[in-house]
Structure 1
Amino acid sequence: MTPLIRPLRSIANGFGLAWWARVETRNPDVTYWFGPYLRRNSLESSLPPFLADLRSEGASEIQHTLVRARRGEPLTISAAP
């Protein structure tokens, strides 16, 4: 990764132009935000290992949506109280 990528991602995220994956799982009921990425195809190519990791940890019913948005913390949101 070039030294400029991280600041560019931060700027893109600040303007709501960054690409994110919203990943929802059941058992556990959790929403994960994966990103930010400057280009949609970069996100698409980086997402499969993340999804595989969730499966290996036992998550089920994994669904994802790619969105262009501005996100901050928290990047992991549990539905459990």
Structure 2
Amino acid sequence: MGPLIRPLRSFANGLGLAWWGRVQTQGPDVTYWFGPFVTRKSLESQLPSFLEDLASESPAHISHSCVRCRRGEPFTISADDG
């Protein structure tokens, strides 16, 4: 990873141009935000390992989507939080 990628990701996120993975689980009911990424292709190449890590926690169901948006904390939102 080049030294400029982190500031580039931050800049893209600030403009609402960054790509994020929104991953939702049921049992427990949690939404995870994975990112930011500058390109959809880079998100899609990294997302499988994130999904695999979540699957190891044995949720009842996992769904995901790729979203282009501006995102900030929190990156993990439990149904109990809202």
Scaled by the length of structure 1, what TM-score is found?
Answer: 0.96
* In the alignment, structure 1 residue 28 sits paired with structure 2 residue 28: yes
Residues 1-81 of structure 1 correspond to what in structure 2 (within 5 A)? 1-81=1-81
Could you give the per-residue CA deviations for residues 32-74 of structure 1, whole angstroms, max 9, x where no partner exists? 0000000001000100010010010112210001010000000
Q: Hey, what's the Cα distance between the residues in 2 that align with 1:5 and 1:23?
A: 23
Q: Secondary structure at the match of 1:80?
A: helix
Q: Identify unmatched segments of 5+ residues in structure 1.
A: none
**Aligned pairs, how many?**
81
Q: Hey, what's the Cα distance between the residues in 2 that align with 1:40 and 1:20?
A: 8
Q: Secondary structure at the match of 2:20?
A: strand
Could you give the per-residue CA deviations for residues 6-29 of structure 1, whole angstroms, max 9, x where no partner exists? 000000000000000110000110
More strand by share: 1
Q: CA deviation at 1:79?
A: 0.2
Q: Secondary structure at the match of 1:14?
A: helix
